[in-house]
Amino acid sequence: MPTKQRKTKAQTTSNEAAKRLDDTNLRHQIEKRAYEIWLSSRCSQGNDVAHWFQAENEVLAAVKGAQMRLSEPT
């Protein structure tokens, strides 16, 4: 019966750092897209939350689509 291997502290720390990096990159992509949406709306005021949610939806949909394409059998 195979034994379950435990992650070392270094592996756990490395995985946590990678996740934070991914989170930071994702947030940057959302910020950039929200800014583009704001510019395309002629810099209208008072729609920042709507722009953020639209950007978040677009970026997350693109990420999910890319993940699905990578997981498809070839």
Q: What is residue 64's predicted lDDT score, i.e. its pLDDT? A: 87
pLDDT digits (tens, 9 = 90+) for 19-64: 666 888 999 999 999 999 999 999 999 999 999 999 999 999 998 8
Q: How far apart are CA 50 and CA 32, in angstroms?
A: 14
Provide the token pair at 4.
């379950």
Q: What percent of the chain has pLDDT over 90?
A: 51
Let me know how many helices (H) and strands (E) the chain has, helices first: 2, 0
pLDDT at 14 over 60: no
DSSP-assigned letter for residue 4: P
Question: Which value, in Å, is the radius of gyration of the alpha carbons in the chain?
Answer: 18
pLDDT digits (tens, 9 = 90+) for 30-41: 999 999 999 999
DSSP-assigned letter for residue 71: H
Query: What type of residue sits at position 36?
Result: E
Look up the pTM and report it.
Answer: 0.68
